[in-house]
Amino acid sequence: MLNIVFLDSHALNPGDLSWEAFSRFGRLTTYPRTPSHLIISRAHEADVIITNKVHFGEAEFQQLPRLRLILEAATGYDNIDLAAARAHGVTVCNVPAYSTLAVAQHAMALLLEVCNQVGHYTRQVSIPAADDDSASSYWATSPDFCRWDRPIVELTGKRIAIVGWGNIGSKLAQLLLPLEAKVAAVTSKPQNALPDGVEKIGLEEAFATSFAVSLHCPLTPTNRQFVNRDLLAHSRRGLVLVNTARGGLINDADVAAALADGRLSAYCTDVLSQEPPAPGHPLLHAPNVFITPHIAWASQDARQRIIDIMVKNFQAFLDGQPTNVVN
């Protein structure tokens, strides 16, 4: 019987989903969270490890001689040293495309929050006016039928540049086009591989000419912190930056500085370079930041798809034809 250990199961399944599908493969032990000093003691007898964020490098693989398969419970796998896994005979399989619409929808929601200020206005309506001792709200004290103190922005005719033309980036474009935005893509794909209404442009042009730039590329050693002071210095003043990809794609201090001086008018993100962030993280105290706590992927439907795809990855590995192998 195979020994299967899930080291950080809580985010995927806090209790609203079932692990039953794994029972046919062996014995599953789940830990809601695993700090680094407990990785080996919990996984030393594991044939298969399931994880999302637990780090595995050469030191860990050396101490896990039974390990043959890691099922990454996500699309990203930068928590795993793939070369070390390969050297120790460990296959690593990820879960692609499980949250395409969920993350694209979240990116759209962040962008629309900047444009429509729904959160701001709902808070305003529910908060009594500063000079009113009654329960009257900001709207109730208005002399007009409407009351607004921040501009409402339409996306029609505005260039929205999508950096990375994968499943999520292309899905976001599908959501933007009906709003008559001018969608552009920063991608290695040729123009003739892009759909009608999407223009291929370069990275610098995207930052220099767009109303908003939305990041949808994986984090790699070559693009870490590519959104930095140098790139932002040449961006259009007032640019809106959206990031539902990886926090490490940006330089936190440089983005915070660009927000402070108005180079960026807003930074909308579901991801940070450190998760959860330290209290002194520069973006927590920067102006015009819209941060959600890495929840874009977490709809129940998307989380169930993760389990379903991991089960298929497991079965394919046992059949000798592994799928979604990343190493």
Domain ranges of the chain: 2-98+300-318, 100-117+152-291
Instruction: Answer yes or no: are the C-beta atoms of 100 and 108 closer than 8 Å.
Output: no
User: Given this model, what pLDDT does residue 215 score?
Assistant: 98
> What pLDDT is attached to residue 126?
79
| Residue at token pair 């030393």 | 44
The answer to whether 298 and 3 have CB atoms below 8 angstroms apart is no
> Which residues, at least 6 apart from 294, have a Cβ–Cβ distance to it below 8 Å?
270, 271, 272, 275
Catalytic residue check, 246: yes
**Omega of the bond leading into 143 within 30 degrees of 0 (cis):** no
Query: CA-CA distances (angstroms) from residue 285 to 59, 247, 252?
Result: 37, 16, 11
- Residue 134 confidence (pLDDT): 52
Q: Count CB-CB contacts under 10 A for residue 101.
A: 18
Distance, in Å, from the CA atom of 112 to the CA atom of 309, rounded to the nearest integer, reads: 31
106, 246, 263, 281: the active-site residue? 246
**88 part of the active site:** no
The answer for 288, left when phi > 0, alpha when psi is -120 to 50, beta otherwise, is left
Looking at residue 138, its pLDDT comes to: 79
The pLDDT tens digits along the chain (327 residues) read: 899 999 999 999 999 999 999 999 999 999 999 999 999 999 999 999 999 999 999 999 999 999 999 999 998 898 999 999 999 999 999 999 999 999 999 999 999 999 999 999 988 887 665 555 554 577 888 899 998 999 999 999 999 999 999 999 999 999 999 999 999 999 999 999 999 999 999 999 999 999 999 999 988 889 999 999 999 999 999 999 999 999 999 999 999 999 999 999 999 999 999 999 999 999 999 999 999 999 999 999 999 999 999 999 999 999 999 999 999
Q: Which of 213, 195, 190, 218 is nearest to 203 (CA)?
A: 213
Cβ neighbours, 10 Å, residue 84: 17
pLDDT number for residue 129: 55
Nearest to 294 by CA among 274, 275, 271: 271
Measured CA to CA, the distance from residue 228 to residue 48 in angstroms comes to: 39
Check if 275 is active-site. Answer: yes
Contacts of 231 (CB under 8 A, 6+ apart): 203, 204, 207
∠ at Cα 116 (113, 118), nearest 5°? 65
Which pLDDT value is given to residue 139?
85
Residue 165 corresponds to which tokens in the numbers above?
Answer: 């033309």
**Which CATH class name applies to 2-98+300-318?**
alpha beta
Beta partners for residue 277, in sequence order: none
For residue 264, list its beta bridge partners.
239
Q: Which of 58, 180, 199, 275 is catalytic?
A: 275
Q: List phi, psi (to 5°) of 186.
A: -100, 105
* pTM, to two decimals: 0.87
Taken as a whole, the chain contains a residue count of: 327
CATH 3.40.50.720 fits 100-117+152-291, yes or no: yes
Q: Tell me whether the CATH fold assigned to 2-98+300-318 matches the one assigned to 100-117+152-291.
A: yes
Residues sharing a CB contact under 8 Å with residue 237, sequence separation 6 or more, in sequence order: 262, 263
